[in-house]
A = this chain, B = another copy of it.
Amino acid sequence: MTAKSTTRNRLIIAGATVGVVAAGVVGVVTVQAQDQDPATRTPVIVNAADAHLAQSTHLSIAAATRAAQTALDAAAKENQRVSVAVVDRNGNVIVTLRGDGAGPQSYDAAQQKAFTAVSWNAPTTELAERLESAPHLADIDGTLFLGGGAPVRAGNAPIAGIGVAGAPSGDLDEKFAKAGVASLGS
């Protein structure tokens, strides 16, 4: 065991919150059923050594839902009917909300705007301008270079994207997306 992993183990013991959360967040341990008779099963469960592990930060589902709901409410205040999506840094969709009366194009578009914003860590209105010099960025699967996407950051790095679609203009959509982001600042 390396010094590094020793240190980390100590940290987990000293600060169980982080360690336990990490183990808890990652997944459900449902090994009981198949381990009833450990003698006849693969008896050794190998845990990856710390040297091989990395940590990443992401939004909790509670936070993502809060942001999405805030964006939807912001749109409703202006009588705009939109859909909202939150996507994590790996492009996985975390939350979708199809607003009442939102156009059918809005559901996928919201996801793609969120994906685009988190991919390049910038609002999609800004990213759309970048296409002047690199128009074929827009050919990448899953992207949409229309206003309405905004990144969520932690330590200035992108950890999620919020996308809104359905309002008459991308600027409006993005205003609502940014309201969602802002709700996470406190």
Query: Taking beta carbons and an 8 Å cutoff, which residues of A are in contact with B?
Result: 1, 3-5, 7-15, 17-31, 33-34, 41-42, 45-49, 51-63, 65-66, 69, 72, 80-81, 87-109, 112, 115-116, 118-123, 126, 128-131, 134, 136-146, 152-160, 166-168, 170, 178, 181-182, 184-186
Task: For A91, list chain B residues within 8 Å (CB).
Answer: 92, 104-105
Partner of A11, one of B11, B52, B95, B100: B11
User: Closest residue to A62 on the B side, CB-wise?
Assistant: B52
Chain A contact residues: helix, strand, loop or mixed? mixed
Q: Closest residue of chain B to A105, judged by CB?
A: B119
Residue of B nearest to A103 (CB): B119
Chain B residue nearest in CB terms to A53:
B57
Extra A-B contacts (9), CB below 8 Å, given A52-B184, A54-B58 = A14-B15, A30-B168, A42-B123, A47-B154, A49-B185, A53-B59, A54-B60, A104-B119, A136-B144
